[in-house]
Structure 1
């Protein structure tokens, strides 16, 4: 009997059980991470800009 790829994946998931493998997570060293500063690139439009766009659309 041949199994499809989906059936094989389901079989492997059932065989492993419900417990995920956390061995790599336990080995992870947070001290090796670099500090980063995030900068917002896509800001939301102001109320004035939204109002101007609404007025422009209404005139069409």
Structure 2
């Protein structure tokens, strides 16, 4: 029930959580990368992509 869930939430001790570092999985492209892509498109070269998993 909702009451038991609220009890569990109130008992939760967040001081036991481990510190973590955030890593952005989908960073925005840099200005340099955008400029390179524009130049590649204008010259007719195929754009190159790096797949990050």
TM-score by length of 1: 0.47
Higher relative contact order (CA 8 A, sep 6+): 2
Provide the C-alpha distance between the structure 1 equivalents of 2:15 and 2:28, rounded to a whole number of angstroms.
Answer: 34
Which string of whole-angstrom CA distances, capped at 9 and with x for unpartnered residues, describes residues 1-57 of structure 1?
A: xxxxxxxxxxxxxxx7xx674122111111211122334455332212201101211
Alignment partner, residue 58 of structure 1: 42
Please, which runs of 5 or more residues in structure 2 have no aligned partner? 45-53
Question: Whose helix proportion is higher, 1 or 2?
Answer: 1
Over the residues paired in the alignment, what is the CA RMSD in angstroms? Answer: 2.7
Determine helix, strand or coil for the equivalent of 1:37: coil
TM-score by length of 2: 0.50
Alignment partner, residue 16 of structure 2: 32
Provide the C-alpha distance between the structure 2 equivalents of 1:36 and 1:57, rounded to a whole number of angstroms.
Answer: 40
Q: Which runs of 4+ in 1 moved over 4 A?
A: none
Provide the C-alpha distance between the structure 2 equivalents of 1:41 and 1:58, rounded to a whole number of angstroms.
Answer: 29
